[in-house]
Amino acid sequence: LIYPSFTPHGMASHTLRRPLLLLLLHLPYLVFFTGVASGTPVLDSDGNPVLRGVHYYVRAPQVINLGNLGLSRPDGSSCPLNVYIKPFPFGPAAVFFPERSQGNSSILAGEDLSVIFVSPTACSDSTQWRLDEKTGVVTTGGKLSPSSEASYSRFRLARYEFPNRNFYQFLSCPAKGLACSTLGVTTDQFLRRTTEVLVVSFMKVKEGSV
């Protein structure tokens, strides 16, 4: 898989962050997909396990100023809001809830989970992520579903190996037993189903920041 280098609309003046630049240029040789079923804890940028229901910023390390995932209105409409990348230090916080009802509170790589932004909006839709099966864009308005049912609100996190970094990728996995779809960002800035991978990291929000 080739790690994308892109300049989303409105971000032409931004370039890849240093000192990762040289590594990113050689990323096809340094980064590889390790699969979705590892069952190991997802780690935040400090090396600590990402926990169920705790607030985290979802950051994109290849964008200068550490681009973050946030919400944006799609062209020509008001609701629901789409998930997109923006070049600001912090975006809305996200929380993760695995479908399993038992086990420890750590989020595990490869397990089915829901993603929800903790941010007030003018829309009546929930801020839970949902893949629009027609457009392939990750939007909002998702809902919790039994694990036995297919759901476009079901996602997974897969780890990417990168020297001294805890990097991950979002996957859309609507139904058990079927292949998952890669999620990334193209020139319209929206998170969508694509072969161009967006690698992310998670920064725990300090108490009182949200």
Tell me: the pLDDT tens digits for 77-135?
Answer: 788 999 999 877 778 999 999 998 777 899 999 999 999 999 888 888 899 999 999 99
Question: Of 131, 111, 110, 104, which Cα lies nearest the Cα of 190?
Answer: 131
Residue 69 lies in a domain: yes
pLDDT of residue 63: 64
Domain with residue 77: its CATH number is: 2.80.10.50
Give the Cα separation of 195 and 21 in Å (integer): 22
More confident residue, 22 or 64: 64
Number of separate domains in the chain: 1
pLDDT of residue 66: 59
Q: Is 29 helix (H, G, I), strand (E, B) or coil?
A: helix
- Domain that includes residue 180, residue range: 21-204
What distance, in Å, lies between the first and last C-alpha atoms of the chain?
35
H/E stretch holding 162 reads strand 155-162
Question: Of 12, 49, 27, which Cα lies nearest the Cα of 157?
Answer: 49
Are 35 and 158 in contact, with CB atoms under 8 Å apart?
yes
Residue 28 lies in a domain: yes
Residue 197 lies in a domain: yes
Residue 2 lies in a domain: no
pTM of the model: 0.79
Per-residue pLDDT tens digits for 3-53: 333 333 333 333 334 434 333 333 332 334 444 445 899 999 999 999 999
Residue 13 lies in a domain: no
Residue 5 lies in a domain: no
pLDDT above 70 (res 165): yes
Residue 11 lies in a domain: no
Residue 61 lies in a domain: yes
